[in-house]
Amino acid sequence: MGNEAFGYLDVGPGEPVLAGKQLGLVPRHAWGRKRGESEQEEGKFHFLPLRIVGNFAYFQSEESVNPPGRPTVIAAGGFFGFSRAGFQSHRPAVPAVTNIAAYRFARLDGLKALRERLIEFCKDRGLKGTILLAPEGINLFVAGDTVGVEELLWELRALPGLEELMPKYSESDEQPFSRMLVRLKKEIIAFGVDGIDPATYTSPRLEAKQLKQWLDEGKPVILYDTRNDYEVKLGTFRNAIPAGIDHFRHFPEAVAKLPPEMKDAPVVTFCTGGIRCEKAAPFMEQAGFREVYQLEGGILKYFEEVGGDHYDGECFVFDQRVGVDPALRETGSAVCFACQAPLTAEEQEDTRYMADISCPHCYRSDADKMEERIAARHEALKRVTSPLPGSVPHENRRPIRIPGDLAGRPILEVLETLFVHVPREQWLGHLAAGHVLDPRGAAASPEQPTREGEEWQRIVPGMIEPAVNADVQVLHEDEAIIVLNKPAPLPMHACGRYNRNTLTHFLHEAWHPEKPRPAHRLDANTTGLVVCARTRHFAKLLQPQFSRGEVKKVYLAKVIGHPEKDAFTIDAAIADEATSLGARELDESGLSAKTDFKVLRRDVDGTALLEVQPLTGRTNQIRIHLWHAGFPIVGDPVYLPEGKRGERQTLGFGDPAMCLHAWKLEFRHPSSGQRVAFEVGVAWEEGEGSAAV
């Protein structure tokens, strides 16, 4: 007899099932008649829904002794024409958890009050899951003990419009939901198209058996899968046309792309359980399709009634099972935790599948991840530098910290000592205008005394900064460091006429709330590699490597003249204090400075390309050493040919480049401790390498 069991059923409210009329019973549902009604009184028969679960049957009767709207529980033991054990062979014991899924389009109102009532109702019965309420109806997935679930259904069926709410049942050993949610929505299935109201009109329904007959007969019909691509991936009807969408909101766009000739053909829409087709099919009619059907109950109902004929694969379901086969058995499919894509058993064997991390659909190599991260950084840099932040007038407040050796002196004297390139008269003008503030924020007088550690401020009102080259390129980024290709002219830090138009300001804005910290410096006119630490912790591990001389730095320099030797070293100390333009001089009593040079090429235009390796890290070291050797760098605005000095320190935007480029860097990674090397080519010397790690 397959899944059917036959017994005798004659029911009365609250009474045991007695011998009587012989009826066919299926494990889940049965229909009975009220006691006392004879076979001859067929017109008076009242067939009642009867749900058989383990030792109990549930039905609703007007004569019920229970409160209105509540199911009557009838003992069912012994009412079959065979033993209880025989019945159990067809129907297992009561499951730990009963799961229901149901929807109904109906005009609902008073949703806020209904929401509160249902939350309390479900929590009182230990039910969990989600109920969506909208003016257009209800959609729910709920699980709990059998009695609580049935009581919820009778509670809902008491609402006008939900009298015929019929769920799909399943059982599970464990509760699949973690909490009970009742949510108010604009729609129970998001669509966003006006004029589609399944409560008042929906397209003709096609029964599963009828569809199978059409397909068996080869009737010319178009099957249109309204589900999302990730659902279709697990299986669909043979020769069906997928909508090609990742969300049901995009369904109207998919329909607009269908060929015009489809509008004259019979179209059967289908989805998992039928709810989406309640809107999809009428929309297609509205769009001009003349013969549109919706598969009643969706794929799951088709599986239940006719099996898997004409269907390839399995059906994606929105619960812990992920997928079911045509026998409605759970398959081995899983869902990727990262991207929510359904995965077949074969895909779960793929090396790119790592539970809770990735799958073949979302796996990205480290190189791919970095490429995406770098692209996002470039977009952020473009956003914060267009327009240049320093091009907007602003008040610039520059801190001035008083060193111990100048403490007690008047502020004017301190300023003259700290900023030797600024004339005394200029400082007097700033003081007279109230643009120098003491630690209390008050305007300072020239003779006002200072104290060690105090922070004074210099105000520059309505400041508009010179334009700079903001084409900062990110070459590498990981959890500890950022490696950049710095353009020129671009100062690294706030100084002189530059405050916001600086590399540091750009980085702080683009990486907000992070504040990347450059581990070393390049001149504003020098291009090339800059490495930054992403946190203070990594800065403490990275910056000392530069100060201790542990970092291998290699530059490219194009110089005026041809050095005689192919390789040479300059070991000459450099003054610690700057001249009026911030430049430096060789000074025997200054800081030791040593640089190695190697000639790579001597060009016919009188220039030469040098590979330069500074062994110390003094300000302007490479430029000064080459200048004093008689080979100034091409484009240097300060250290000019014939030993002359320029009148400006920083190039203007659009000026010919100063041909000094930080080409290579090698250091110990602050996170792994391993030596890493970076290299980047230069625009003015095409072919000399490219961005590489």
User: Number of C-alpha atoms within 13 angstroms, CB side, residue 682?
Assistant: 22
Whether 70 and 137 share a structural domain: no
> Quick one: pLDDT at residue 88?
30
User: Do 470 and 629 touch, CB atoms closer than 8 A?
Assistant: no
Domain-located, residue 573: yes
Domain-located, residue 684: no
> Quick one: pLDDT at residue 96?
74
Whether 452 and 565 share a structural domain: no
Whether 659 and 564 share a structural domain: yes
Domain-located, residue 260: yes
Whether 104 and 74 share a structural domain: no
Of 88, 107, 126, the residue that ends a domain is 88
Cα–Cα distance between 21 and 330 in angstroms, integer?
37
Whether 599 and 649 share a structural domain: yes
Percent of the residues in the chain that have a pLDDT greater than 70, as a whole number = 84
Whether 449 and 486 share a structural domain: no
Whether 295 and 406 share a structural domain: no
| Number of domains observed in the structure of the chain | 5
122 is catalytic: no
> Quick one: pLDDT at residue 208?
97
> Quick one: pLDDT at residue 580?
63
Specify the DSSP class assigned to residue 279.
H
As given in the structure block, the two tokens for residue 382 are 């473009």
Domain-located, residue 362: no
Mean pLDDT over 268-293 rounds to 96
Host domain of residue 403: 393-463
CATH code of 612's domain:
3.30.2350.10
Sign of CA dihedral 132, 137, 142, 144: positive
HEC sequence for 626-650: HHHCCCCECCCCCECHHHCECCCCC
Whether 101 and 84 share a structural domain: no
Whether 102 and 66 share a structural domain: no
CATH code of 232's domain:
3.40.250.10
Of 280, 312, 344, the residue that ends a domain is 312
Domain-located, residue 119: yes
Mean pLDDT over 655-674 rounds to 96
Least confident of 335-344, 455-464, 605-614, 616-625: 335-344
Confidence of residue 296 (pLDDT cuts 50, 70, 90): very high
Whether 58 and 114 share a structural domain: no
Cα–Cα distance between 184 and 140 in angstroms, integer?
12
Cα–Cα distance between 685 and 487 in angstroms, integer?
14
Strands 607-614 and 552-560: antiparallel
Q: Is the pLDDT of residue 85 over 60?
A: no
Whether 159 and 237 share a structural domain: no
Per mean pLDDT, which of 80-89, 565-574, 582-591 is the most reliable? 565-574
The closest alpha carbon to 583, from 420, 413, 350, belongs to 420
Domain-located, residue 574: yes
Domain-located, residue 193: no
Least confident of 152-161, 249-258, 321-330: 321-330
Percent of the residues in the chain that have a pLDDT greater than 90, as a whole number = 66
The closest alpha carbon to 685, from 527, 464, 457, 502, belongs to 527
CATH code of 133's domain:
3.30.70.100
Domain-located, residue 359: no
Specify the DSSP class assigned to residue 623.
H
User: What is the tens place of the pLDDT at every residue in 363-378?
Assistant: 888 888 899 999 999 9
First to last CA, the chain: 72
Mean pLDDT over 643-661 rounds to 93
User: What is the tens place of the pLDDT at every residue in 211-248?
Assistant: 999 999 999 999 999 999 989 999 999 999 999 999 99
Of 422, 445, 463, the residue that ends a domain is 463
HEC sequence for 100-133: EEEEEECCCCCHHHHHHHHHHHHHHCCCEEEEEE
User: What is the tens place of the pLDDT at every residue in 308-364?
Assistant: 999 999 998 876 677 888 887 878 778 887 777 788 778 888 888 888 788 888 888
> Quick one: pLDDT at residue 354?
84
Whether 651 and 565 share a structural domain: yes
CATH code of 413's domain:
3.10.290.10
As given in the structure block, the two tokens for residue 84 are 């209880």
Cα–Cα distance between 472 and 456 in angstroms, integer?
33
Strands 527-533 and 481-486: antiparallel
Measured at the CA of 516, the angle between CA 511 and CA 518, to 5 degrees, comes to: 140
> Quick one: pLDDT at residue 686?
59
Catalytic residue among 271, 359, 532, 659: 271
Cα torsion for 101, 107, 112, 118, to the nearest 10°? -30
> Quick one: pLDDT at residue 67?
36
